[in-house]
Structure 1
Amino acid sequence: MERHNKIGRYEFLVEPFHCDFSNRIFMGHLGNHLLNAADFHSNERGFGMHFLNGIRKTWVLSRLAIEVNEMPVAYTRLSVETWVDSVMRFFTQRNFKISDHETGKIYGYGRSVWAMIDTETRQPADILAIKEGSIAEYVDKETICPIAASSRVRMSDEGQWAGKVETHYSDVDVNGHINSVKYVEHLLDLMPEAWHRTHCIGRIDVAYVAESHFGDVLNYYCETTGEGKTAYRIMKQRGEEPPLEACRVEITTVKPHL
């Protein structure tokens, strides 16, 4: 298969109501654009949700990293390019490039790891057993993604409680669990206004540990992991059940954009 057919390119508009008080897109909405591009790309190549749901399978996000030079402003027309750079038995690695659709200006890149699971057992499914492993035809090992691989987000067992969030109807996605980006959006909502006026996110790493669901309470614990780096452990809890780790997030901040 020709290389250009392995890469999907999708246009998105940065709508003004998807921007914060700095007139730049919310990180959550940018993350959703990447996930939508992944969905479009996989569906067009016969390995998307439309096909998988019919055989009781689905994709779930295992890790996500987004690294940006700056956040696009309102009314920017974005191009999100995406391609798969490796396929293993239980995981695929997918990359992203974020640029201005008209000028080609690069805003940043993304990396992600996806697992295929059985929707009934919620256990991992063998990706290479689907359609005789033909997903390998869409792997592009030539296109470079220049950012570091997505991180496991290492942190100690210590951490300062940063707040809690109750999950609701709009947090749940088509897979029936809390949407992957919602963990990040809730985290950023816990930050005071002053933090958002004095910090800009240069990179965000998310490592998903376990699914959480409508009605779970998410408790956030934070720890400084380096200069400009803060890691968060997100613990889910339902009623009197013991808390379980659902997700980890590391935020790397940079100087505010001019």
Structure 2
Amino acid sequence: MEKIEKVGSYEFLAEPFHCDFNKRITMGHLGNHLLNAADFHAEARGFGMLYLSSISRSWVLSRLAVEMDETPCAYDRFTVETWVESAMRYFTSRNFAVVNAAGKPIGYGRSVWAMIDTETRQPVNILEVNDGALSGYVDAEKVCPIAKSSRVKMSETAAFVREIATGYSDIDVNGHVNSIKYIEHVLDLFPLSFYETHRLRRFEIAYVVETRCGEQLRFYREETEPDTFCVRICKLPVGADEEIEVCRCQLVFEKS
């Protein structure tokens, strides 16, 4: 395969139907654009989902952190730049920059990915896929100025706030709850009135285990600092009595 640039750049539109009542793109839809950019970048370089599906492999998102100084408004065009910061045997780090139409960076993202065998659901060596194609595209020099994902710490006394059943629209091509769906469910834990006075500046999520269709999700929330909230999501497998932690999130808001 002919070598191409390490950094990919992809243009998107903040479609009005992807925006909230403030006319700004939601974190869920922005997250989808980041993941689409990641797939476009990987596919063009020999380690994307189409290629991986042919060899019974798939990427699995492990961590995602997004921090926005500004959020694109309806009909705004913006560009997502993405690049691989590092690659190890079982995990790779991928970064993002969100750039407005004037060329100004307005936000950044950090993510960590693993690769699994879709038949055994076990992790596989990323560096062996397609003769180590990913290794040739690592760019450790390009700066991503936001903090890496931290371990989300919250108490066992966090308040239970909601339980939902997972269904068809939650499930992705890997057969489990879509990574972005968790983000959307977490954002729904806050009333509309809260978003009238607050803007989400940073969102981070760390995934622990998969959730299958039909399993119940339970949400626990606590405010650890003013306008900073941590959320723990647990699942109750069908027929089980004990819940299992699925992921943890941290949301940092600022007064709008």
Tell me if the contact between 1:92 and 1:114 (Cα under 8 Å) persists in the aligned partners. yes
Q: Between 40-49 and 150-159, report the one with greater CA deviation.
A: 150-159
Tell me if the contact between 1:228 and 1:253 (Cα under 8 Å) persists in the aligned partners. yes
Tell me if the contact between 2:63 and 2:111 (Cα under 8 Å) persists in the aligned partners. yes
**SS in structure 1 of the partner of residue 29 of structure 2:** helix
Q: CA deviation at 1:133?
A: 2.2
**SS in structure 2 of the partner of residue 5 of structure 1:** coil
Alignment of 1:83-162 (within 5 A): 83-100=83-100, 102-162=101-161
Q: Which amino acid aligns with 2:233?
A: I
Q: CA deviation at 1:23?
A: 0.5
**SS in structure 2 of the partner of residue 128 of structure 1:** helix
* TM-score (structure 1 length as normaliser): 0.95
- Give me the whole-angstrom Cα distance separating, in 2, the residues matched to 1:181 and 1:237: 20
- Aligned residues between the structures: 254
- Give me the whole-angstrom Cα distance separating, in 2, the residues matched to 1:134 and 1:237: 39
Tell me if the contact between 1:81 and 1:96 (Cα under 8 Å) persists in the aligned partners. yes
Aligned-pair RMSD on alpha carbons?
Answer: 1.5
Q: Which amino acid aligns with 2:201?
A: G
Residue aligning to 1:228: 227
* TM-score (structure 2 length as normaliser): 0.95
Per-residue CA distance 1:92-145 (angstroms, 9 max, x = gap): 000000011x31122200000000011111111111122332311100011100
- Give me the whole-angstrom Cα distance separating, in 1, the residues matched to 2:4 and 2:196: 40
Q: Which amino acid aligns with 1:143?
A: K
Residue aligning to 2:186: 187
Residue aligning to 2:239: 240
Q: CA deviation at 1:4?
A: 7.6
- Give me the whole-angstrom Cα distance separating, in 1, the residues matched to 2:88 and 2:99: 29
Q: Between 69-78 and 147-156, report the one with greater CA deviation.
A: 147-156
Task: Using the aligned pairs only, state the percent identity.
Answer: 54
Alignment of 1:12-31 (within 5 A): 12-31=12-31
- Give me the whole-angstrom Cα distance separating, in 2, the residues matched to 1:124 and 1:161: 33
Q: CA deviation at 1:198?
A: 1.5
Q: Which amino acid aligns with 1:195?
A: F
Gaps of 5+ in 1: none
Tell me if the contact between 2:46 and 2:130 (Cα under 8 Å) persists in the aligned partners. no
Tell me if the contact between 1:65 and 1:151 (Cα under 8 Å) persists in the aligned partners. no
- Give me the whole-angstrom Cα distance separating, in 2, the residues matched to 1:151 and 1:105: 27
**SS in structure 2 of the partner of residue 33 of structure 1:** helix
Gaps of 5+ in 2: none
- Give me the whole-angstrom Cα distance separating, in 1, the residues matched to 2:50 and 2:4: 23
Residue aligning to 2:208: 209
